[in-house]
């Protein structure tokens, strides 16, 4: 099962302050809009999403090529999903689950 590219989506208090901090660590913005309160930053192969006012917790994020195949596999393993993709559709979709400690994991196919 290929999980896809990985990033961590951080919930931040002030996107401008957080952006400046991560840029000091060598990260560069490659996607997003600060005026919409989200930015994606990259440093080498490491990706961080900064999200102000969108999530309650930090989120582990995977971007698979086929989220529905991952959903099917997870359900066959009796993993509880808190948001599912419609298996009868194609294209962009996402699923969400929680790890045993309540950390959200998002599989987002776009």
- Say what the pLDDT of residue 100 is: 93
The model's pTM is 0.86
The position carrying tokens 């991952």 is 70
- Say what the pLDDT of residue 86 is: 95
- Strand pairing of 46-52 and 81-83? unpaired
- Say what the pLDDT of residue 41 is: 98
- Say what the pLDDT of residue 1 is: 84
- Say what the pLDDT of residue 26 is: 97
Helix (H) or strand (E) holding 59: strand 59-63
Question: Distance between CA 69 and CA 87 in Å, rounded?
Answer: 9
Averaged pLDDT, groups of 10, the chain, 110 residues long = 94 98 98 97 96 95 96 97 96 97 95
Domains identified in the chain and CATH numbers:
5-109 (3.10.180.10)
Question: Distance between CA 15 and CA 81 in Å, rounded?
Answer: 29
């Amino acid at each position: 099962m290929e999980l896809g590219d990985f990033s961590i989506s951080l919930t931040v208090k002030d996107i401008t302050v957080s952006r400046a901090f991560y840029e000091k660590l060598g990260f560069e913005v490659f996607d997003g809009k600060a005026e919409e309160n989200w930015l994606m930053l990259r440093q080498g192969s490491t990706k961080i999403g900064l999200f102000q006012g969108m999530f309650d917790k930090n989120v582990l994020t995977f971007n698979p090529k086929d989220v529905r195949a991952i959903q099917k596999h997870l359900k066959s393993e009796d993993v509880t999903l808190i948001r599912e993709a419609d298996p009868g559709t194609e294209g962009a979709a996402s699923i969400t689950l929680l790890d045993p400690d309540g950390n959200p994991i998002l599989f987002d196919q776009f």
